[in-house]
Amino acid sequence: MENKKFDIIVADPAWKYDGKTGVSKKVDEHYQVQHATTWNSLPVADIAADDSLLFMWCSGPVLKQAIELMGEWGWTYKQIAFIWDKERIIPSSYVNTQTEMVIVGKRGKIPQPRGCRKQRQMLQEPRGKHSAKPEVVQDRIDLMFPTQNKLELFARRHREGWTCEGNELDGLDIFDWVDKWSKDEIVDNDNHYQRVHREQESVEESLDNNKGM
């Protein structure tokens, strides 16, 4: 069966920071980081619909890289879609920072039909586990585009209603995954979230039964 093309894509690349950005050098200890040029040849457009949006996480020091990478992938930068106030100050060379952002680019036209058009740009949530992003961003995207096929690249967890791909989820190199998806060589994992939770519930139920014996 032919795999679907994605109307909405969220990407959260692990950026490589150069120079005195004020960003913690410990970032490499948490996940493998890469220069934007590493991802330039990732053929994301091969698995995207002609009319699609790309939402990309970045921070101030790599904003220029993010916009350039978006262009390399085939999307035209439009604006900053979301700004996350992490409620925690991070020292920097110029001003103390406390935000990350999600930029959005368009390929073709905005996917239809549209949902809610009144989502706010700003959100405030305390910073959690390193590299973890607030779910409210994708909650808002779901409201904006409730019926579209959605993909999260560089994902670190599964999300209901989304296809999620990341090395931490299945061990696949992301270049291999995109290539295999475009060639219909892997099965759509749309229901992985529900399947994982059913398996967890089954294990928990089994443990509870054993305790009662």
Chain-centroid distance of CA 195 in Å reads 21
CATH number of the domain at 193, please. 3.40.50
pLDDT band at 211 (very low <50, low <70, confident <90, very high): low
pLDDT of residue 16: 76
Q: How many domains does the chain have?
A: 1
Domain of residue 148, residue span:
6-211
User: How many percent of the chain have pLDDT more than 90?
Assistant: 60
SS (H, E, C) the chain: CCCCCEEEEEECCCECCCCCCCCCCCHHHHCCCECHHHHCCCCHHHHEEEEEEEEEEECHHHHHHHHHHHHHHCCEEEEEEEEEEEEEEECCCCCCEEEEEEEEEEECCCCCCCCCCCCCCEEECCCCCCCCCCCHHHHHHHHHCCCCCEEEECCCCCCCCCEEECHHHHCCCHHHHHHHHHCCCCCCCCCHHHHHHHHHHHHHHHHHHHHCC
Q: What is the pLDDT of residues 26-49, one digit of tens each?
A: 444 434 545 456 789 999 999 999
pLDDT of residue 34: 52
Cα separations (Å) of 6 from 45, 60, 107, 131, 139? 9, 27, 12, 24, 17
Pairwise CA distance, residues 49 & 12, whole Å: 19
In a domain, 1, yes or no: no
Pairwise CA distance, residues 198 & 209, whole Å: 16
Q: What is the pLDDT of residues 61-116, one digit of tens each?
A: 999 999 999 999 999 999 999 999 999 888 888 999 999 999 999 999 999 999 99
Pairwise CA distance, residues 211 & 117, whole Å: 50
User: How many percent of the chain have pLDDT more than 70?
Assistant: 77
Instruction: Retrieve residue 36's tokens.
Output: 């934007």
Pairwise CA distance, residues 114 & 103, whole Å: 19
In a domain, 42, yes or no: yes
Query: Taking 50 as the threshold, does the pLDDT of residue 194 lie above it?
Result: no
Query: Taking 90 as the threshold, does the pLDDT of residue 187 lie above it?
Result: no
pLDDT of residue 31: 40
In a domain, 50, yes or no: yes
pLDDT band at 207 (very low <50, low <70, confident <90, very high): low
In a domain, 18, yes or no: yes
pLDDT band at 205 (very low <50, low <70, confident <90, very high): low
Apex 138 CA angle, 136 and 143, nearest 5: 95
pLDDT of residue 168: 85
Closest CA to 94 of 60, 131, 58: 60
Indicate the pTM of the whole model.
0.82
pLDDT of residue 128: 77
pLDDT of residue 26: 41
